[in-house]
Structure 1
Amino acid sequence: MSSYQDSDSLPPRSEAGLAGFSNPGLELGEGECERAGVEDKMEGFHLDRTTGASAGQAESQKRRGLAVRFRGVEVEIQGRQILRDVAGTVLPGELLALMGPSGSGKTTLLSVLTGRIQAKSGQVTLDSQPLTKNLRRMLCYVMQQDIFFPNLTVKDTLMCQAHLRLPDSVTFAEKEKIISVLVEELGIKKCLNTIVGNDFVRGVSGGERKRVNIACELLTDPSVMLLDEPTSGLDSSTSHSLIATLKHYAVKHQKTIISSIHQPSSLIFHMFDKLLLMSDGEVAYYGQASRIVDFFADLGMPCTPHENPADYMLDKVKESPEVRQDIVDYSNKFRVSSVECPLLSKDETNTHLQSMAGELSEVKIAGADGEGAGAELEEVESPQWASSFWMQLRTLTARNFKQQRPQILSLINVIKTLVTAIVPGLIWFQVPREEDQVKARAGMLFHLVLYWFITPIFRTLPSYPAERPIINKERLAGSYRLSAYFLAKVLSELPLAIPQLLVHITISFWLTGLNGAGAYFADMGIIALSTFTSEALGLLISVVFLRMDQTMAFSTSLIVLTVLLGGFYIQKLPFWLAWLRYLAIILFSFHATLQLEFTDDASFRCASQSFSPHCAAAHLNNPNETAYIPAQEILDQFIIPLPVWGNILVLVLYMLAFRVATYLVLRFVRIPGK
């Protein structure tokens, strides 16, 4: 037997089930149990997240780390066993590395620890209390993808999260102070006024974006932080700096940090206190990270001095099924319950959780329904949302406006608006008010309503798919109500369309010489309503069909049918198809603009070869006098069944129907995490 095994004298695993387990070498170092009781000594400003009180007023409510214990965790998804009897313990001030080959179950375990996935069996506890919805609010989860709105600055992004995830009682100045402390500690102060960016928009670097992601989660001062491969996509220097920052944060503030990580460098690997190595859903090693080399040496698989232990152990668990099973079996032989040291005595644990009960009733971090955590927390009612509906609505509206403004009001869109207004205006320039030009005037109106039907749809189609990952992340975190997000999206995008609409209609209207100032303002309102209805339809399509190829195929087909049925090309349909024309939204806006244009009986001169009965009779009775075709005869050519107000009402009903349908799809179909 090797000296590694002899030095620990670890007994075999109990058959009755254990409170926890470890691999060889997991025995806690001197002072580790005591470390769990250390208070958070955050230097500088400290703000109580519950009431917004200053440090002096909230000294007794500073949040420290919690011991995370999980044992016997098993997960089965669609008949496939993903996790098998996984267990471990992480104490405040510790940094645990969760490692293993791709598909070994690392992300699944993180999802179980955050409560996002329900385990088939096993238990997860925080300071010996079962993980409930209330206690989940003490955790944060940093996803692997750093997904943000690219056009927002780092400061805008953090302030938005502060408004959403901190109580309204925390003042703006206090939120700024919290952000100032975080960015200083995470080393991103210099890029506060730089846009976040993404793969297509230049912004902060990948490492800085990852730190912004972490800062967003630290705003609520969580006791436990879980990270999914935070170094993914970063270079070795940036990765080392990031893990060093996390290590410093864990020790300085006595926070519990669990992070999955893929192939770290030797320097990074040795920053971790503990290691949980997984293979095919099972534990291959759990213990002190510094003793992994001894573990494999005992197995007869010595790691050479110049080899990276992290790379070596990953190669071994991937080597062959037989080798993998030998490692897992050897690990299972030495599971012990001795790791479950008296981190906190039962009385100390109960006292600590009782002190947190008041905080849990105020710290409204994430979409839970207020369940208690054990006897101490059963009577504590936690509001479901951190901020009020109006704060959420105001914040999300401002955020969406800032994100969409550079795109909608970009130079290319300004040029497009001017060109598509001036060119048709010149084509229909000052159309004569004569009977044989009625069709041309109607064509101009049809062009206007068709343009403002197509443009909003194609502008809106990519909107939801592009922001869906961000929205899903925030909804999973319980950052805001779905109703607040939906209403904010509607309100923020409406004013952005108005400047383009105003410029386009104004140029087109006066170049073509349409029917006076009264008709101009009325047409503006009707086409604006049609635009808002088209936006609602476009958003519904984008929510129903998430793939862009599907949305484009459906939208193109819809537009072609709408053009055919819009009332300009075809006025009469077979009786068994007549109902289809009422599905064309532009039919109603086109009819309303026609009714506003052709209102004056003395406006359009009769043609010499008129098809109008009135004009024919006028020429016959007074051949030398100028005759005018009645407006109603013009409108009769287009078969308009509804008055102006009726067409407006139909547009309003369509818009409301599309909005309600979109909300219902988001609420009951596009559920985050499913």
Structure 2
Amino acid sequence: MIGSDYTLELCNVFHSGQVEPGSFFQRLIGGVKTGVILKDVSFTTHSGEVTAILGSKGSGKRALLDVIARRVPAKGHILLEGVPLENEQFNSTCALVRHNTRLLPGLSVQQTLALSLTKISGYLKSSKVKQVMADLALSNVAHKCVTNLTKSEYRRLVIGVQLIRDPIILLLDEPTWDLDPLNTYLVISILSNAAKKYGTAIILTMEKPRSDVFPFLDRVVYLCLGDVVYAGPTRNLLDYFGSIGFPCPQLENPLMYYLCLSTVDRRSRERFIESNHQIAALVEKFKLEGQGIMQGNLHENNRIVNPNKIQLNYGKPGGMRVIWMLYLRLLASIFNLKKNGMKQMFMRLLALPIYFFILWIFYNEAKDYQRAFITKSGLIFNAMVGTYFISIMNTICLYSPYRTRYYQESQEGLYSGASLLLSWNLVSLPFSFLSTLASAAVIYPILSDISENLDFVYFALALWSCYVYAEQQAMAVMMFVKNGLIAGIVNIYITCIYIMLASGVLRSYKGFEEWLYYLTYITHTRYASIFMHRNVFKQPTFNILPYSDQENCTSTITNLIQTSSNLNTNSNANCRYASGRAFLTERFSSKNFNGDIFQSGDFDPEFNLGVSFAFSVGIMVFNKFLYLMPLPGYITDKFRE
């Protein structure tokens, strides 16, 4: 067990990785350019200290944080109290905060902290939330939505999400990036106070350090192209560089001056060569003379450590508690009067009924004539297609923030994709059921007698299975595709394929070759479409419908039945369908089918509704396993960037 006073040591750490960005195909086949990123990096830091890793872009700062966090493989030793720091131990006792961390947009500051995944709960957690908000100067914006925070407030909140869990080591990637001088000073001073108050070892990266943050940094590490130019206490910085012939000029910012000294000058070939030689000399000089400086400790009276630092809050909560907290996050982001909450409520509950109301406007005047066969089939088709597409649209718009947050938190080992999907489904399924039930109630009176309550409920259930299937399909695609527009196009393209193939509306099954007809059996659309059509056209209303008020089809269809001749040779070609049974036989039977389609096993209503839901439940289970699969780093990394 780690006590209140501890030491983190890096000894001769080397790390190799990708040094130039590559195309998707190059990364897929492993053809990207790689090289040594960190070269023999060593430094020490202690509890209660703030250590700054300084270097220009490409110097290896972020890679060093990833190595300490055990996110990438490395050679050398990373020791916490003399024991190798492994990934599992880091996830249970330490934290890494990237400057581009994304929080859930529908929550307030207080909700974000209160719904963070920690072991503590109840009064202890409520007290901790208030304490962290006070420490990070966030108390005055406690009820403000995270999307309305300033950059500085947002960064402090991201840090607070980790501080509330009392990490013993806190790594921060560019916490002051793109902040103005006043807020940069505020963030660094807050981190320094937190390090002293909680006894946390804080390691942060900075690309452009200001002189006013100098007093808050206990140690600095200068990196240049993966090499260490200096690593040790800040109070020894000026003496060390002065002793090797590089005194800092008066009125200069020492942090920035020595950063420029440790940066390759690329303005000309001559300067590039000269600066490379100078940096190589600095690296060798530090290896020879810097070991004593590296071991230099700060005075103990300057390090105030928390005697109760033994972990109480940090670590992974239990599985059911994780699911419960994720479930509460979803509910909190929906049930509020903020912009994001109202958007979610509208899309989940009203988007589909509004679309069905538009359908009602166009199909409301449909009467029970011969053209009702095509018209009502078209209404079923539009209802089914609209349910698919609106489900895809809602999922892509609403699921993206939770997916991004999942990819970030899963790096910390907090929960798996299966936990996220379970909590999402617990929230989404009731909303989608209510939405499809209300939508079905809008158009079902046009299709059939609404007094047939059970048939109406079955019709709504078939639509619900369409919604759930499309939602789960979109979530599966979004595991690999980050861009929402591209994910939407991919989903719509896939959906259009099985709609055109198996809906029975755009093209009759009788027109299919045998292999194409059997292909419809592996689509969700076949079973949902057949069920909804049978639900509507089984009615006695659809027996020998007239062509119009003046033109009756009774005699025409009777003659047709008696002679079994082609409709087009009949005296009245407008009277095409004798009944709903005849219409369904034409649209949904194979070209070799002979017999009563209602007696066919393929037309059994319980079977088709059951298979529709089997597809929806099946893709839910498939997604659970899909989100548990390990993915290549170049896929998961893009969701965290």
Measured against the shorter chain, the TM-score band is: 0.7 to 0.9
SS in 2 for 1:592: helix
> Residues 134, 316 of structure 1: CA spacing in aligned structure 2 closer, same or farther, 3 A cutoff?
same
Residue matched to 2:506: 569
> Residues 493, 142 of structure 1: CA spacing in aligned structure 2 closer, same or farther, 3 A cutoff?
same
Return the alpha-carbon distance in structure 1 between the equivalents of residues 194 and 625 of structure 2: 42
Residue matched to 1:598: 537
Matched, 1:642 2:579: no
Within the candidate set 432, 436, 451, 1:501 is matched to 436
Deviations 1:520-569 (A, max 9, x none): 22211111122111111121122243344542442232233233221112
Within the candidate set 623, 627, 631, 1:662 is matched to 623
Aligned partner letter, 1:389: G
Do 1:435 and 1:604's aligned partners in 2 also have CA atoms closer than 8 Å?
no
SS in 2 for 1:146: coil
Deviations 1:497-534 (A, max 9, x none): 33432332222223565564322222111111221111
**% same residue:** 19
Instruction: Give the number of equivalent residue pairs.
Output: 567
The alpha carbon displacement at 1:403 in A equals 3.3
Matched, 1:632 2:571: no
Do 1:434 and 1:605's aligned partners in 2 also have CA atoms closer than 8 Å?
no
Deviations 1:373-430 (A, max 9, x none): xxxxxxxxxxxxx322222112112212443563654558877545522332132215
Within the candidate set 183, 186, 190, 2:136 is matched to 186
> Residues 547, 531 of structure 1: CA spacing in aligned structure 2 closer, same or farther, 3 A cutoff?
same
Aligned partner letter, 1:661: F
Matched, 1:322 2:277: yes
Within the candidate set 379, 384, 390, 1:444 is matched to 379
Deviations 1:170-228 (A, max 9, x none): 4412210111111111111111111111xxxxx11111111111111112222222211
Counterparts in 2 of 1:375-524, with a 5 A limit?
Answer: 386-403=316-333, 406=341, 409=344, 417=352, 419-510=354-445, 516-518=451-453, 519-524=455-460
Return the alpha-carbon distance in structure 1 between the equivalents of residues 342 and 474 of structure 2: 17
The alpha carbon displacement at 1:619 in A equals 13
SS in 2 for 1:313: helix
TM-score by length of 1: 0.77
Matched, 1:585 2:533: no
Do 1:592 and 1:648's aligned partners in 2 also have CA atoms closer than 8 Å?
yes
Aligned partner letter, 2:322: Q
Residue matched to 1:53: none
SS in 2 for 1:461: helix
The alpha carbon displacement at 1:77 in A equals 2.3
Residue matched to 1:129: 83
More off after superposition, 645-654 vs 425-434: 425-434
The alpha carbon displacement at 1:236 in A equals 1.0
Counterparts in 2 of 1:51-200, with a 5 A limit?
Answer: 64-77=4-17, 79-120=34-75, 122-133=76-87, 135-136=89-90, 137-161=92-116, 164-166=117-119, 170-197=120-147
Within the candidate set 308, 313, 317, 2:258 is matched to 313
Return the alpha-carbon distance in structure 1 between the equivalents of residues 198 and 364 of structure 2: 72
Deviations 1:140-191 (A, max 9, x none): 2222223101111111111111xx221xxx4412210111111111111111
Any gaps of 5 or more consecutive residues in structure 1? Answer: 1-60, 198-202, 345-351, 366-385, 621-627
Residue matched to 1:383: none
Return the alpha-carbon distance in structure 2 between the equivalents of residues 476 and 412 of structure 1: 30
The alpha carbon displacement at 1:614 in A equals 5.1
Return the alpha-carbon distance in structure 1 between the equivalents of residues 354 and 398 of structure 2: 24
More off after superposition, 662-671 vs 276-285: 662-671
SS in 1 for 2:73: coil
The alpha carbon displacement at 1:296 in A equals 3.5
Do 1:64 and 1:253's aligned partners in 2 also have CA atoms closer than 8 Å?
no
Residue matched to 1:651: 612
The alpha carbon displacement at 1:584 in A equals 4.2
Counterparts in 2 of 1:217-232, with a 5 A limit?
Answer: 217-232=162-177
More off after superposition, 513-522 vs 211-220: 513-522
Counterparts in 2 of 1:197-346, with a 5 A limit?
Answer: 197=147, 203-318=148-263, 319=265, 320-336=275-291, 340=295
Aligned partner letter, 1:471: Y
> Residues 105, 113 of structure 1: CA spacing in aligned structure 2 closer, same or farther, 3 A cutoff?
same
Return the alpha-carbon distance in structure 2 between the equivalents of residues 104 and 457 of structure 1: 42
More off after superposition, 516-525 vs 95-104: 516-525
Do 2:326 and 2:420's aligned partners in 1 also have CA atoms closer than 8 Å?
yes
The alpha carbon displacement at 1:281 in A equals 0.6
Do 1:404 and 1:493's aligned partners in 2 also have CA atoms closer than 8 Å?
no
The alpha carbon displacement at 1:340 in A equals 4.5
Aligned partner letter, 1:192: A
SS in 1 for 2:170: strand
> Residues 215, 444 of structure 1: CA spacing in aligned structure 2 closer, same or farther, 3 A cutoff?
same
> Residues 83, 617 of structure 1: CA spacing in aligned structure 2 closer, same or farther, 3 A cutoff?
closer
> Residues 340, 544 of structure 1: CA spacing in aligned structure 2 closer, same or farther, 3 A cutoff?
closer
> Residues 490, 204 of structure 1: CA spacing in aligned structure 2 closer, same or farther, 3 A cutoff?
same
The alpha carbon displacement at 1:86 in A equals 0.9
More off after superposition, 289-298 vs 583-592: 289-298
> Residues 146, 342 of structure 1: CA spacing in aligned structure 2 closer, same or farther, 3 A cutoff?
closer
Return the alpha-carbon distance in structure 2 between the equivalents of residues 305 and 612 of structure 1: 107
The alpha carbon displacement at 1:629 in A equals 4.5
Return the alpha-carbon distance in structure 1 between the equivalents of residues 517 and 459 of structure 2: 27
> Residues 409, 314 of structure 1: CA spacing in aligned structure 2 closer, same or farther, 3 A cutoff?
closer
> Residues 308, 638 of structure 1: CA spacing in aligned structure 2 closer, same or farther, 3 A cutoff?
same
The alpha carbon displacement at 1:436 in A equals 3.6
SS in 2 for 1:305: coil
Aligned partner letter, 2:498: T
Residue matched to 1:537: 473
Return the alpha-carbon distance in structure 1 between the equivalents of residues 70 and 208 of structure 2: 26
Deviations 1:123-142 (A, max 9, x none): 12222233245642322222
Aligned partner letter, 2:584: L
The alpha carbon displacement at 1:326 in A equals 2.2
